[in-house]
Amino acid sequence: MSDGMIALTTFTEDEKFFYETVKDFAEGEIKPLREKMDVEGKLDPKILPLLFEMGLMGIEVPEEFGGAGSTFFMSIMGIEALSTVDPAVAVVMDVQNTLVNNAFIRYGCDELKQKYLPLLAEQKVGAYALSEAGSGCDAFALACRAEDKGDHYLLNGQKLWITNAGEAEVFIIIANLKPEEGYKGITAFIVERDFPGFSVSKKEDKLGIRASSTCELLLEDCQVPKENLLGEEGKGYKVAIETLNEGRIGIGAQMIGTARGALDFAIAYTKERQQFGKPIATFQGLQFQIAQAETEVEAARLVVYNAARLKGEGKVFIKEAAMAKLFASQVAQRATSLALELLGGNGFTREYPVEKYFRDAKVGVIYEGTSNMQLQTIAKMVM
């Protein structure tokens, strides 16, 4: 059975220690609550404080703002490690680090960083709101509108499928300030949960990653202070695209962790399950299926880590991020399906965790850009 890591020469000692620490934390604190959270469709109240206490919600946030001052690659490793136990908890950390914190670090002015980064690193959950009913893959077909009212902005519209919305207190809202200018009018705003005119509405009842909240947001004459502009007016499309490129690497990490968790459980099961007088793990046909899955998971991990390293080194990584999400999500579906089948009838029951990994893996081909959108990005970069 794999130890859940690739060759240790690819990691520094600090990275190896971090991965193992997060994995141990997930096994000890999250695993006992996993089934209950999945059934109830919400995080246990103790989870978020523990994530903050572990420093997992502000990995790249500079130390001066209360964060760990670490690297994007560390964020990716943490997401993978959590996902081996519960991808639903991992996506909470993922969105906080790769989308919300990254956007503040890259586009926030000094005043915004000083105000929000300490909160996001130490106590408050953030959410990133781009998607709408008519703008999923077509991310810039935004109906959400912003108006300049002189001393404040006024936002009106609806956002759908917003991860972390149930717990978040800080939201990055993408709206169009000048719709007559098309995508050049798109602008990013920072909205707090208690702003007048803002509310969190319907919570989705999902197939997988059920403990992670996914909600609708309503903006009805929502007043946003002028100083809560993230970046520049009309540059929201840049904030959205560049942030999502980083987020896709995070989803790739979530998917390889999901695949790893399912396979590790299934492999251990095959060593215990007896048929024809011996463990089913001794059958060559089964061994070959596991060998194929193991190879694909390791390959996916290398693709994800390569994208993360490129991002961390300040190099172009758009194609590699799309490849990471595309391939890792495909591999996760195959690996979790195989793991379920290896358990036979037991795999089809909620008594064992593999069916949860199977359900959790499906979202990887959908959110933060469908697989077809990743293929389009890769083709555009290649051609």
Which residues are annotated as catalytic? 368
Token reading at 8: 């240790």
* Torsion sign (Cα): 235, 375, 79, 214: positive
3-class DSSP state for residue 317? Answer: coil
Of 255, 260, 293, which Cα lies nearest the Cα of 371?
255
What the block records as the tokens of 87 is 């991808």
Report how far residue 155's alpha carbon sits from residue 148's, in angstroms, rounded to the nearest whole number: 9
Query: Quick one: angle between helices 72-83 and 87-94, nearest 10?
Result: 160
- Is the CB of residue 307 less than 8 Å from the CB of residue 297? no
CA distance linking residue 65 with residue 118, whole number of Å: 5
Whether 300 and 255 have beta carbons less than 8 Å apart is answered as yes
Residues 6+ apart with CB under 8 A from 200: 165, 166, 168, 193, 215, 216, 217, 218
- Output the six-digit token pair for 213: 């909240």
Q: Which two tokens stand for residue 69?
A: 């001052």
- Residue 311 and residue 322 in contact, taking contact as beta carbons nearer than 8 Å: no
Chain center to CA of 257: 12
CA pair distance 370, 18, nearest whole angstrom: 31
Beta-sheet pairing, 152-163 with 170-176: unpaired
3-state secondary structure of 180: helix
